[in-house]
Chains A and B, each alone.
Chain A
Amino acid sequence: MNIPYTVETRPDTGLANGKLGIWLFLASEVMLFGALFSTYIILRTGAVEWPHGELSVLLGAINTVILISSSVTMVMAWASLKMNEWSKHRLYLILTFVLAGVFLVNKYFEYAEHLSHGEGPWASTFLAIYFTLTGLHGLHIVGGMVVMAYFIGPGAKMAKTSPEQFTNRIEYTGLYWHFVDLVWIFLFPVLYLL
């Protein structure tokens, strides 16, 4: 049985089902991260003092550059498919995957540095919200990498059997990935600079 409206658009919404689906998912993600940002505001406004300069701005800035670059490569992976440039698509998607991995390695070193000094999430309110926010964001990075790995590996077969559906799937993956980038764009100043 074929799932309807994976490629063709629904007459009522003007969208393929997957497109509306990913946006509704992202809407729920906005509320998830929104709840944690709201928690951050409560904790920060209620704190007598708030640490400043505990995190490495350099590492945070490097990770911001990495994620922004990965957003560019992700959108290029989708654009290459649209332009029927398969090898470029593969290159950009693999680059996005690698950049995501570098982000996580960078984050690992950051976490390891803190934990080696006994600065775990139990050590202070700031570190508790820092580890919660960046940990959840990191899990989203891992989730994105799993999806990208699938489309680099076994999922790539669909490009031959149903190229339009494959292009749509890459587009939805991209939307998710840009959202993960967008969350970091706010996390970086909130946690590292302010």
Chain B
Amino acid sequence: MHSDPAEVRKSVRKYMMIGAALLVFTGITVAANLVHLTVPLAITVALIIATIKGTMVAAVFMHLNNEKKWIYGSLILTVVFFVVLLFVPLLTVSDTFGTHINAPGPAHVESGQEHKD
């Protein structure tokens, strides 16, 4: 990151431009919501825009485009664990231990009765 005042002065314009770009992307996100897309497409579009915005904040405002390797190292480790964390839900649908793949469902479900707590 910049430590020289002259370089910081040059970056001020960049901060303003990124701020404006973030506001434009927010407008695009809301506009995309007004167009009634299918749910998977809407999720994809919204998350792509959010990722672009997040990258701009991290790279420019948080100065990650020009940092020391110790910070990159700790963040790479974090990203690895974060991705693992986000994929943990997959285990809930792939957990078929002790069940037969084509096993019939419980009797009360088949007969149409709802489970009540």
Contact residues of A with B, CB < 8 Å?
13-15, 19-20, 23-24, 27, 30-31, 34-35, 37-38, 41-42, 45-46, 57, 61, 64-65, 68-69, 71-72, 74-76, 79, 82-84, 174-175, 178-179, 181-182, 185-186, 188-190, 193-194
CA distance A177 to B29 in the complex (A): 22
In whole angstroms, how far apart are the Cα atoms of A42 and B91 in the complex? Answer: 10
Q: Are A72 and B86 in contact (CB under 8 A)?
A: no
- Give me the interface of B with A, judged by CB distance under 8 Å: 2-3, 5, 8-9, 11-12, 15-16, 18-19, 22-23, 26, 29-30, 33, 39, 42-43, 46-47, 49-50, 53-54, 57-58, 61-62, 68-71, 74-75, 77-78, 81-82, 85-86, 88-89, 92-93
Establish whether residues A193 and B8, one from each chain, have CB atoms under 8 Å apart when the complex forms.
Answer: no
Q: Residue of B at shortest CB range from A175?
A: B62
Chain B contacts for A181, CB-based, 8 A: 57, 61
A-B contact count (CB 8 A): 122
Give A78 to B54 CA distance when docked, in angstroms: 20
B70 touching A193 by the CB < 8 A rule?
no
Interface of B is mostly: helix
Instruction: Find out whether the CB atom of A82 lies under 8 angstroms from the CB atom of B5.
Output: yes
